[in-house]
Chains A and B, each alone.
Chain A
Amino acid sequence: MLCLNSPKVLMFESKKISDTELIKMINQGDNAMNKAIEHILDTHAAKIEGYLMKQNSSPEEAEDALYEGIAAFIVNAQRGTFNGESTIGTYLTSICKGIWFKKFQRMMVHKKWEAAELEKPQNLYEETVITTEVKDGLDFLMTNLKDKCKEVLQLWSMSFNMTEIAQKLDYTSSQVVMNKKNLCLKELRKQLADNPNLANLLV
């Protein structure tokens, strides 16, 4: 991980891509999205991890918060909730430090980081952070769902309407999507009802 910070790697840093272009690449998905993630890592990872470590974070915690922060940012970009009012760097830093604090509940030791800022509801990331327990629980809950089901539910959760989902996933009509969504959601609700311990993780 640390070798990404080394001057040797920085020498070969990819050319600068604008924030607007990055959002486009994220929404294209597949390889374009991977390139965007790579660029975000090249541009922001060292700074964000360095900053968190300055606040007493361990390298592992900083790395974890960074990945989760970038993931949350990408999902926000896909949902269209990142409106470009601030730069990606500012936005991402804000998410990562919030997640790190929420996840590791560290005391704030730096005057730059005011408690008030963290208490403000910003809706930049989910209230629940991804711990190992939550991750395993989610994997278990989704076990019975087929990939197509997960795709439909994922797009629905991002507020795409049935017509848009039908177009994206090549379904013949929005009604087919609606039925599929309701069926998949029913299965997921059943899993949650059958596993109250896992459901309780999702506070």
Chain B
Amino acid sequence: METQYTTFIERYFDEDLTIVELIEYQELLKTDLDFQKEVELFKKALKAIRLKHISDMKDRVQSIRNKKVNSSKSGYLGWMKIAASVMLVAVVGLGFYAQQYKTSKLYQEAYTPAGDYITNMDADMSTMEKAMELYNKEDFLAAIDAFTEIENTNPETQVSKFYLGQSLIQAGQDEQAIKTLSEVSGDYHPEALWYVALTQLKMDNEAAALQSLEHIISENKDEAFVIKAERLKRKLNSPFRKLVF
């Protein structure tokens, strides 16, 4: 395993070579086959160590998530038992249900901000990526300006329209957000419509929200949002809810 080169290569990987030695290293790499082979082995060893580190970390991430999911499940079962007890005193618990089915509560449960999937890590970001970075850094007013600018120059760009709507929601400009998101077409249309429904719910306009949900369901363009819409519609039309409101 040990050759005349081993210590020399070890020192290279420890960044311990002088400039003269570095030149010698480069020269050997070009001319000496045995040297090349040994360097290659060092590189592969380093790679194996790095990959093993990532692989172990991946297992760790997975196990943390599995634990969390299991505890959520057992937590859920626990809640089911409690709920069964609560059912015995259902009349007294009516207030509890009223809370659960309040429009604001349903909105809070259903709403999660749209994420950023466009930006890259390079210095030469496009106008869109710069706008996305503002959105992602939660500078929503600046993001509104940036997306509006893109919207003005390229009104057919649906991505910017969608994220303009998201920024308006985050900035609390709900009516403008509904207007903007309602105009989104293409790939983003079902998701935009979902946020229209949620914003209508937030504004306590339940009838309009139900209409938007119905629209998502009947268009049936994106299964994920159809499922979400059906779930929220069920909650809004729940008999418990109708009993209380």
Contacts and interface: CB of A to CB of B under 8 A. Distances in A.
A112 interface: yes
11 contacts: A7-B110, A44-B115, A47-B112, A51-B117, A87-B136, A122-B121, A130-B55, A138-B48, A138-B52, A154-B53, A185-B42
A188 B45 contact: yes
Nearest to A152: B49
B54 A89 contact: no
A145 to B, nearest CB: 9
Contacts of B141: none
**A contact residues, range:** 35 or more
A13 B14 CA distance: 44
A38 B68 contact: yes
**B contact residues, range:** 35 or more
Interface of A: 1, 3-4, 7-11, 34, 37-38, 41, 44-48, 50-51, 53-54, 67-68, 70-72, 74-75, 85-87, 89-91, 93-94, 97, 110-112, 117, 120, 122, 124-126, 128, 130, 134-135, 138-139, 141-142, 150, 153-154, 156-158, 162, 178, 182, 185-186, 188-190, 192-193, 199, 202
Contacts, number: 167
A54 B122 CA distance: 24
Given A8-B76, A37-B60, A190-B1, 19 more contacts: A3-B76, A7-B110, A10-B109, A68-B58, A71-B60, A74-B61, A89-B115, A89-B136, A90-B133, A90-B136, A97-B117, A112-B159, A122-B122, A126-B47, A150-B49, A156-B49, A162-B14, A192-B44, A202-B48
Contact of B1 (A85, A111, A186, A202): A186
B41 A193 contact: yes
B72 A3 contact: yes
Given A186-B1, A186-B2, A142 B121 contact: no
B187 A110 contact: yes
Given A38-B68, A141-B48, A188-B48, A157 B136 contact: no
Instruction: Kindly name the residue among B115, B122, B159, B187 whose own CB sees the greatest number of chain A CB atoms within 10 A.
Output: B115
B207 interface: no
Interface string B48-67: 11111111011011101100
Contacts of A125: 54
A92 B125 CA distance: 17
B24 interface: no
